[in-house]
Chain A
Amino acid sequence: MSIMALPKIGYAGMTHLGLCSAIGASSKGFDTLGFDTDPALVARIDAGKLPVVEPDLDDLLRDNRVRMSFSADPKALLGCDVVYVAPDVPTDDTGGSDLSGLDGLLALVLANTRPDAVVVVLSQVPPGFTAARQRSGRLLYYQVETLVFGRAVERTTKPERFIVGAPDPSEPLPLAMQQYLEAYGCPILPMRFESAELTKISINCCLVASVTVANTLAELCERIGADWSEIAPALKLDRRIGAYSYLSPGLGLAGGNLERDLATVVRFSEEYGTEASVIRAFIGNSAHRKDWALRTMHEAVLNKVPQATIGVLGLAYKENTHSVKNSPSLALIRYLGPWALKVYDPVVPASAALHPNASGAASALDAAEGVDVLAIMTPWPEFKLLSCDDLAATMRGRTVLDPYRVLNPAAARRAGLDYRTLGVA
């Protein structure tokens, strides 16, 4: 590679993290290869059919298509100067990671890249992972990923900083990697491997702490006449808390990544004898809040209407994603066996509900027709367009569960709806 030439970047693993990051790299002017061992997946992506739902991602690929190539042939990696190994690491119900896929892909990449190429582990790994895989004569680094489902384009093109785990943080990064990262114009923080791996976990623990505070106090608001939506803005104006802090109450942790990091801290604390009861409390609070809709539905409707029909809007675990991992909506539906359901999600098919008596609706309003209670379980933007008057006119019952305040609470109450949301009675 000439010093002046831009390095060629590779991303191995074309699931959510790798695909979004690769397209982001091409948008910074780098020739970028997206590699995956699945030829069918590569062919679909190459044809422009992306397997993930992210706002603006299709446009970003189209605008940078000239610099973006895809291949299922490992030999294509030989042309890359920096290769990120970035498959999504699957987790089980307890937050445990299955690292076998990552290990297999890392071995494949190391076997098919030039010795001077920089290989960077980007997937979420437990502390100790990268140090344990160092090889003599190879440049293996770790980099923290901070992708957010539903905001992947923003996060991958405008990162706040790069956190890099290095064999010796006092040494400069390899030139090709340095050149690539500097193109983003954000701070680069090299540190030892274990620190970088634990930084990722620390970030998520801080986020969970904020969310848990919000959830704990929002529940109290629901009992004592306070309104968390009035309190949270005041907190965000406190510089010690911050404008971007995670203070919106929710239905517990979902998506898998935060849960994975909490599980990792608990596992390490057990292994090394450190005190981690607060992390267990986070997990307990998440489980408690996840069932808010189930408890509220029983209290408000199911206690009184044994033959109720239930409408559910949203199946994805959050808006702007197809992912249903740990989805609060599916967690609710699982325990609504005796009742008839009408479900609608803009992206996820009704079959994902796995309910014996669920029918798919053609639209959000269609899902509300004739139901005794409506639960808006994912805050998709299109649900904000629903008219409360239309809902009141089409529903049989009056009760609407809207944990994320998709609807305007005042408008809902004006329309005569029995409106229930998080953080207020």
Chain B
Amino acid sequence: MLSHQFSTPTAPGRVVVVGAGGFVGSTLVKQLGLAKVPVLGLTRKEVDLLADDGAKRLRGVLRPDDGVVFVSAVAPAKTAGQMMTNLRMAEAACAAFAAVQPGHLLYISSDAVYADDANPVTERSPVAPSTTHGMMHAARELMLRSEYHGPLAFLRPTLIFGAGDPHSGYGPNRFRRQAANGEPITIFGEGEEKRDHVAVEDVARLAVRILLHRSVGVLNAVTGVATSFHDIANIVAAQFSPRAEVKSVPRPGPRPHLLHRFFDITDLHKSFPDFHFEPLADGLARVHQESSVR
């Protein structure tokens, strides 16, 4: 659970977003702008954490009164190589944070750090990842805990959707693209697995709150509502005219051990009592509209 160093929202002198070119990072920069918080977005162009001088360049930018969001990653990290690449990026970031300790650090992690059999998941569920992606985030959290000794927060989002998602992972983003291309929406088996999906804007709004309260600790960015892929596919299908076809296809492998995943969002109610998520159907409708405009 989070504890707030500022009980009333207080903007830091500046927020530096490391990874501002990404899906979450770019949305966060926009939300910070809306909240009138001075923000410096760093993309790979300004600071390449994999370059030899990555740590040095980041260190040169940082100020002790900055709030910093570290959201730069090669995601998803499906291979050992991708995992190690991400850890090298974190190593460079840690070196910079150790040299110029910013006033507050927020790391955008992932719910993949939790064990598969944690259900319902809370912020106190054991960190026991079963994927390289989850292990990468868990390792990065440990690295930051080890190297940065100021107020530190971890935000662990679940599956994120949004109009600007560059990935096409199984879920609403892929379903929308399939339908937009005139293809059938394909679900594995009956699509019965229930998962939590959160809008990228809600993840960013939570991050802004954490920055404004200089919060410390862990918070899951999850809505507390788990919906089956079958139902999501049909919501997306109904947004197209004519309605897109939803087609069941054989699973690429055995049915996942983790059939459903639920989250208990009590900690969110306690940390930010007046924060409420955009309902999934509303979010998918908004994303559909935004995507149509693009």
Q: Which chain A residues have a beta carbon within 8 Å of chain B's beta carbons?
A: 288, 291, 294-295, 298, 302-303, 306, 335-339
Contact = CB atoms under 8 A, between A and B. Distances in A.
A302 B266 CA distance: 13
Contacts of B270: 294, 335
Contacts of B265: 295
Nearest to B272: A338
Contact of A306 (B264, B266, B269, B274): B274
B264 A298 contact: no
Nearest to B279: A303
A336 B274 contact: no
Contacts of A339: 273
B269 A335 contact: yes
Given A295-B269, A335-B269, A335-B270, A302 B276 contact: yes
Overall SS of chain A's interface = loop
B273 A288 contact: no
Nearest to B225: A299
Interface residues of B, number: 8
B117 to A, nearest CB: 14
B234 to A, nearest CB: 22
Contacts of A337: 273
A288 B274 contact: no
Contacts of A338: 273-274
Nearest to A335: B270
B276 to A, nearest CB: 5
B266 A336 contact: no
A144 B80 CA distance: 59
Contacts of B266: 288, 291, 294-295
Contacts of A303: 276
A291 B270 CA distance: 10
A291 B269 CA distance: 10
Nearest to A336: B273
A337 B270 CA distance: 9
A295 B120 CA distance: 14
19 contacts: A288-B264, A288-B266, A291-B266, A291-B269, A294-B266, A294-B269, A295-B264, A295-B265, A295-B269, A298-B269, A298-B276, A302-B276, A303-B276, A335-B269, A335-B270, A335-B273, A336-B273, A337-B273, A338-B273
